[in-house]
Amino acid sequence: MNLTTICFKSENFNIKDTLECGQVFRFRKFKDGYLVFSQDKACYSYTFGDKTYIECDEKDKDYFYNYFDLSRDYSKIVESAKNQGVEILSLSAKLGKGIRILKQDVTETLFSFIISQNNNIPRIKNSLEKICQNLGENKEFMGEVYYTFPTNQKLAGKPLEFYKEMGLGYRAVYIKTLAQDIVDARIDLSSLNGLSTNMLKNALTGIYGVGPKVADCVSLFGFNRTDSFPVDTWIAKVYEQDFNGTLKDRKKMADWFTLKFGNNAGYFQQYLFYYKRSLESQTSKNGK
C-alpha cells in the first residue's frame, strides 16, 4: 500500500465535528484522530492546528476527496446560516462550522439509518460494527484490523435470527427484508439517482422499515440532496423550543424547514442537531 496525505484547511473541516455530528457510524478513535471506514475503504484523519489531514491508500485519494466533499466552499454555507436572523442557527453554525456533509455510499447509508430508528448512537455503532465483523471482509490499514461493509449477497444470506443476535431488535426484519429485496432485484437503489428529491423520498419510503425521517437521512447523506431536512426527536425539540413552531407532524416540520432554507436546509439541519445534542450532554454533565 502506498499511503498518501490530503491536507485541507481546518477552518471548515474539523474531523471530530464531522464524524461525531451523527451522520455516520463507522469510525473509531485512533492515535490523534480517527479511523474512518466506508464501503471496503479506510482512512486516518486528524485535525491539528489550522489543518485537517487525511491519510489513505493512494488509489483511494479521489474517493475520500469526494467523500469529505472537499470541492465545496463551506464558508459560504456557514455565513448564510449566521445571517438568517435566527439566534440558535447562528450559534449552531458557529459550533458546527467544521462539519462537512459526507457523501456516503447509498446502500450503507440506507442500512445504517434503518437501524438508527428509535435507537441511540452508541448502540447503532455497535450493531453496525458487529454486522461488519461477522459478514465483512477482514482487512488491515496502518496496522489496524478493520472489516468492510458486507456485500448484499452476504447480508441476504443470513437468517432473521442472525440480525436479532446483532442487537437489532424489531429492526431485524427490516434489514433482512431489504437485503433479500436488493439481491432479488425487487429494489434497485442505483435507479433512484436521477429522481427529483421528492420522488426520491417517495421511492425510499416505499421500502419496508423506511419512513419520512430515514428517507430524509438517506436522501441527504447518501444522495447528497441538501434540500432534505430530517426531523428526529432532537430537531423536533429545536422546532418547538427555538422556532416556536406549532406543527405537530414531523413530516410537515421537515417541509417547513426545507421551504425556509432551500438547498442549505440539510447543512443547517446538521448544525442544529449537533448543537442541540452538545447542549444536552453538557447540561447532563453538570448534573441537571
Partner DNA sequence: TACCAGGTTCCGA
Partner DNA sequence: TCGGAACATGGT
> Which residue ranges make up the site for DNA (CB under 7 A)?
21-23, 113, 116-124, 126, 164, 167, 169-170, 205, 207-215, 217, 230-235, 249, 269-270, 273, 277, 284
Q: Which is nearer to DNA, 141 or 271 (CB)?
A: 271
CB of 196 vs DNA, minimal distance in Å: 19
- Rounded Cα distance between 89 and 225, Å, is 20
Radius of gyration of the chain (CA): 19
Question: Smallest distance from the beta carbon of 241 to DNA, in angstroms?
Answer: 13
Output the smallest distance, CB 7 to DNA, in A: 26
Closer of 110 and 155 to DNA (Cβ): 110
Sign of CA dihedral 244, 81, 231, 270: negative
Provide the minimum distance between the beta carbon of 254 and DNA in the complex, in angstroms, as a whole number: 9
Residues belonging to the chain:
288
Residue number, 98 or 230, with CB nearest to DNA: 230
CA 22, CA 112: separation in Å to the nearest integer? 11
Cβ closest to DNA, residue 6 vs residue 203: 203
Residue 103, Cα to own-chain centre: how many angstroms?
A: 9
Task: Select 148 or 270, whichever has its Cβ closest to DNA.
Answer: 270
Minimum CB separation of residue 172 from DNA in Å reads 7
In this complex, which beta carbon is closest to DNA, that of residue 6 or of residue 173? 173
Q: What is the DSSP string of the chain?
A: --EEEEEEEGGG--HHHHHHTTT---EEEETTEEEEEETTEEEEEEEETTEEEEEEEGGGHHHHHHHTTTTS-HHHHHHHHHTTS-HHHHHHHHHHTT-------HHHHHHHHHHTTT--HHHHHHHHHHHHHHHS-EEEETTEEEEPPPPHHHHHTS-HHHHHHTT-GGGHHHHHHHHHHHHTTS--GGGGTTS-HHHHHHHHHTSTT--HHHHHHIIIIIT--TT-----HHHHHHHHHHS------HHHHHHHHHHHHGGGHHHHHHHHHHHHHHHHHHHHHTT-
Q: Please report how close the Cβ of residue 275 comes to DNA at its closest, in angstroms.
A: 12
As measured in angstroms, the least distance from the Cβ of 23 to DNA is 4
* Closer residue to DNA (CB): 76 or 252: 252
Closest approach of Cβ 274 to DNA, in Å?
8
**Of 53 and 113, which has the nearer Cβ to DNA?**
113
